[in-house]
Amino acid sequence: MKKIAVFTSGGDSPGMNACVRAVVRTAIYKGLEVYGIYRGYEGMIEGDIKRMYSHSVSNIVQRGGTILKSARSEEFRTKEGRQKAYEKLQKHGIEGLVAIGGDGTFTGAKLFFEEYGIPTVGCPGTIDNDIYGTDYTIGFDTAVNTALEAIDKIRDTAAAHDRIFFIEVMGRDAGFIAVESGIGGGAEFVMVPETKTDLDSVVNALKNLRKTKTSSVIVVAEGDDEGSAETIMTKIKEKIADSSKEFKVTTLGHIQRGGSPTARDRVLASRCGMAAVEGLIAGEQNCMAGVTNQEVVFTPFGDCIGREKPIVRDHLRLIDILSI
């Protein structure tokens, strides 16, 4: 293997740049030529591919977003699109790929590998942490801390006004951000897609809590089965006859995707990037480089996207116990 390329795809996440930097520098260190593909699969189809050097990735380890940009590509879902992409890679002599992204990225990479056989190793770049095969995904720790800082701020104002705040965090299919920011932020309740949300029991518990607490924070993952934070607040407000408290909603939104990555995300991103390149050289393909139990592990793309990653059970218990 002499030439490899790296790209970022899907929603951006903090640490993607640290990962790109690790891929580029490890490749150069190992004597490979390395290219950057811009705007994910879209840029692959269009041939938006540039040679990268050590200095191309200087001073990016601390930056959010991705210097390679990201995009969603409809065309790559078509056979014709992938054919074009393959031709562009051939033209540049690319023999291996590092794909940084989440579910959708790996689904595309798997299909592309099966059709054209270019060895591909993925790195788990998504804030949602919903990828099997790695304890944490790149960007998750930063997103949790961003959510947590917001919760800390809102708690100030909740306490000052004796309010009940519903805070919606990201997580369409997974409650990891909600659970960890909820434990960290001392939330009274956390509602996640993985478990059935029982609003009646929340209402009862809220009534009980009020005897000792004058304000409460409820963290809601955007994909909760009872709906958005706004919807849930409205339902609870109706159920709870007492109107003496003010109910408020805040939806954190896109601030959770940005920001300078935390140490944990930079280290994880660097390690996955290095492992992906070393994996490619060692013959790995159609799999993702993750870190489990402090060790690098390569997991087939099929498992990464097909197997469920459960929330740590202790974490759900923690919220119950600590909110008393």
Element (H, E) at 297: strand 295-300
Please state the closest distance from residue 302 (CB atom) to a copy of itself, in A.
Answer: 23
Q: Does 208 bind a copy of itself (CB under 8 A)?
A: no
Catalytic residue check, 128: yes
Least distance (Å) between residue 222 CB and a copy of itself = 13
What single letter denotes the amino acid at residue 20?
V
Does 282 bind a copy of itself (CB under 8 A)? Our answer is: no
Q: Please list every residue from 183 through 202 that binds a copy of itself, using CB under 8 A.
A: 183-186
Under the criterion CB under 8 A, does residue 75 sit at the interface with a copy of itself? no
Cα 249 from Cα 165, distance rounded (Å): 6
Dist CA 237 CA 243 (whole Å): 8
User: Any alpha helices (H) in the chain, and if so which ranges?
Assistant: 16-29, 40-46, 79-92, 103-116, 140-161, 176-184, 199-209, 229-239, 263-282, 301-306, 313-322
Minimal distance, residue 234 CB to a copy of itself, in Å: 17
Tell the burial category of 102 from Cβ atoms under 10 Å away from its Cβ (0-12, 13-18, 19+).
buried
42 is in an annotated binding site: no
Nearer to a copy of itself, 79 or 294 (CB): 294
Please state the closest distance from residue 115 (CB atom) to a copy of itself, in A.
Answer: 27
Q: In this chain, which stretch among 83-91, 107-115, 297-305, 310-318 interacts with a copy of itself, using CB under 8 A?
A: 310-318
By the rule CB under 8 A, 134 interacts with a copy of itself: no
- Options 44-52, 79-87, 110-118, 311-319: segment touching a copy of itself (CB under 8 A): 311-319
Task: Choose among 238, 189, 259: nearest CA to 217.
Answer: 189
Distance (Å) of CA 54 to CA 29, 47, 59, 149, 310: 9, 22, 11, 34, 38
Q: Does residue number 91 form part of the binding site for a copy of itself (CB under 8 A)?
A: no
- CA–CA distance from 270 to each of 51, 74, 95, 289, 303 (Å)? 20, 30, 22, 11, 23
Question: Per CB under 8 A, which region of 78-86, 268-276, 281-289, 299-307 contacts a copy of itself?
Answer: 268-276
Tokens of 283: 């013959």
> Which residues ranging from 15 to 54 are in contact with a copy of itself (CB under 8 A)?
16, 18, 21-22, 25-26, 28-29, 54
Binding residue numbers for Mg(2+) = 103
User: Among all residues, which ones are annotated catalytic?
Assistant: 128
Annotated binding site for substrate: 126-128, 163, 170-172, 222, 248, 254-257
Give the annotated binding-site residues for ATP.
11, 72-73, 102-105
